Structure 1
Amino acid sequence: MDVLADAIEQAFTDAGEIPLGFLFASVKNIGNSEVMVNNVPLAPGDAKSYPFVGKPYTAKSFDPMDSTLHIMYII
C-alpha cells in the first residue's frame, strides 16, 4: 500500500463498484431518476457517504441505471 492516499473522483453512467479497501467514499445521484448504491435506492439529488472508520471497507456496488452518479472515494 502506498504512503499517500489516492482520491478518485468521476461521474458514472454504467454499473460498477467502489473497490475493496477504500477508506472514505461519497456518492451523489446527479441524474433525474433513482439509482442503486449497495443494493439501496438513492433518489435524484440525494447523497450518501461512507465515512472514515479506521479500517478499510468492503467493495460497494452501484448501478446508475438511467441516471448519473458522482462518486469520490479514497484508497
Structure 2
Amino acid sequence: MDLLAQILEEDAEQDGELPAGFLFASIKNTGDAQAVVNGVALEPGEAKAYPFVGKGYQAISYELGESELRILYIV
C-alpha cells in the first residue's frame, strides 16, 4: 500500500464500479436521467458520498442508464 492516498476523478461514460479498498467517494448524477449506484436510484442533480470510516470499502457498482456520473474517489 502506498504511503500517500491518490485522488481519482472521472466522468463515467459506461457502467462500472469503484474498486474495493477505496477510502472516500463522491458521486453526482450530472445527466438528465436516473442512474443506479450500489443498487439505489440516483436522480438527476442528486449526489451521494461514502465518507472515510477508518477502513476501505467493498467495491460499489454503478449503472448509468441514459445518464452521466461525475465520480471522485480516494484510494
Shorter-normalised TM range = over 0.9
Unaligned runs of 5+ in 2: none
Query: Which residue number corresponds to residue 7 of structure 2?
Result: 7
What percentage of residue pairs aligned between the two structures are identical?
52
Query: Which residue number corresponds to residue 55 of structure 2?
Result: 55
C-alpha deviation, 1:13, in angstroms: 2.1
- RMSD of aligned Cα (Å): 0.4
TM-score (normalised: structure 1):
0.98
Unaligned runs of 5+ in 1: none
**Superposition misfits of 4+ residues, deviation over 4 angstroms:** none
Query: Which residue number corresponds to residue 23 of structure 1?
Result: 23
TM-score (normalised: structure 2):
0.98
